[in-house]
Amino acid sequence: MRPIACSLVVLAAFVAGCPIYSFRPTQRTVTPVGPTSGTPTTVGTGAARLVQVHVINNTGQVVCYLHVSPASDTQWGDNRLAGQTLPHGAALRAQLDARYPTWDVLAQNCDRQTLAELRDQTLPADGNIYLQAPVATPPPPPPIEVPPQPVQVRLVNDSGLEIWYLMVSEAGAPWGDDRLGSDQTIPPGEEVILELDANLMWDYMAEDRNHASITEQYNVRVFEGAVWSIRNTHGAGTGGGGGDVVPGSSAVVSSGNSRGNLRFGVVAAAYLGASSSDARDLVRGDCGFIDNSDLADFCRGDCSFIDNSDVADLCRRDCGFIDDSDLADFCRGDCSFIDDSDLADLCRGDCSFIDDSDLADLCRAL
């Protein structure tokens, strides 16, 4: 076989394996495909330095429109396919001017839907530019369903009043039905068992027979063995015979309130670092003689005037909003979870085990 014929046979075999479309460079014209970003690049007036590249279609679809433009151009040029198509796996041979440092490439199907778009591509060292379909962003995973974790919570009536109505709901949700029903109450010192989901925070409210609020607590966590101690924080059942109460607050030391409220005041005094004289004035109810303004406001029940947010929340019995974990546990009556031994002993009423003598004396005075 003659050498020229051999060359033709080899060339025909190569083309059959990977179609290559060759086009001569044409003058660029403006088409309505869409602008690219960037600012024009000044190119010298010398002759163009043409390099040959292969644009390979790996989009999985047929390309009908292919635009290859310097990245500095503000408009796409002509369609390089010029009425032909570029099947998947085929390559287009094109000549690009090496005086332009970077190039933009746009490939679209016959409906002008974008299949691939490359920006600021430098001329490849191997001469191949690959058209790849954009990687689809995977959808976010579905939310994980957390199964309910029911735990038993003891609710103890330490209010000194009979609880006739008890509402318990997920934190922030409207109050639901009365948990006690029409034929059950919780006498003083008695308790009920609630089964609640430990994955959630809870609100609860207790009322007397006249629907007067005994207490309301919000954002309370639950766990196996938790105890909710119901205290009379709203003055229900006092008949108005106690001391002055600021609306929206709980009078802590005014006459007519329980010694349990005094215990809260003593904890507030210890938390604020009050002097022993201030703490004793607190126990006696001499609010006007207390030097520490926050403690004096606590004594008067002026909860909204207290600067320390934790002490203000303790004053209002908003246990779930207290940042200090020991103070929050004391507020809820979770004595066994308090790290500070003196505070835990005071919570339990074990005055003789308190190391601080002044605090022990105050504990015994309660």
Q: Which residues pair with 152 in a beta bridge?
A: 195
Q: Residue 283, CB half-sphere, CA atoms under 13 Å: how many?
A: 18
Residue type at 197 in one-letter notation: D
Residue-level pLDDT at 46: 67
Average pLDDT value for residue range 8-16? 46
Rg (CA), the chain: 40
Q: List phi, psi (to 5°) of 6.
A: -60, -45
| Class of the CATH-defined domain 16-25+48-132 | mainly beta
Is residue 237 over pLDDT 70?
A: no
| Residues 69 and 76: beta-carbon distance below 8 Å | yes
Q: Does domain 147-237 have CATH number 2.60.40.2890?
A: yes
Integer Cα distance of 340 and 149 in angstroms: 30
Q: For residue 181, give the 3-state DSSP assignment.
A: coil
| Residues 152 and 224: beta-carbon distance below 8 Å | yes
Q: pLDDT of 140-180, one tens digit each? A: 888 888 899 999 999 999 888 999 999 999 998 999 899 99
Enumerate the domain spans of the chain.
16-25+48-132, 147-237, 249-366
Share the mean pLDDT of the chain. Answer: 79
The two domains 16-25+48-132 and 147-237 share their CATH topology (first three levels equal): yes
Higher-scoring residue by pLDDT: 149, 282: 149
Span of 48-52, 62-66, 300-304 with lowest mean pLDDT: 300-304
Q: pLDDT of 255-279, one tens digit each? A: 334 455 777 888 888 888 888 888 8
Dihedral over Cα of 121, 125, 127, 129: its sign: negative
Integer Cα distance of 168 and 174 in angstroms: 9
Residues 6+ apart with CB under 8 A from 231: 158, 159, 215, 258, 260, 261, 317, 333
Chain-centroid distance, C-alpha 138: 22
Q: pLDDT of 178-232, one tens digit each? A: 999 888 999 999 999 999 998 999 999 999 988 899 998 888 888 888 888 888 8
Integer Cα distance of 319 and 332 in angstroms: 6
Q: Rounded to two decimals, what is the model's pTM?
A: 0.35
pLDDT tier at 120, thresholds 50, 70, 90: very high
Chain-centroid distance, C-alpha 294: 33
Residue-level pLDDT at 182: 85
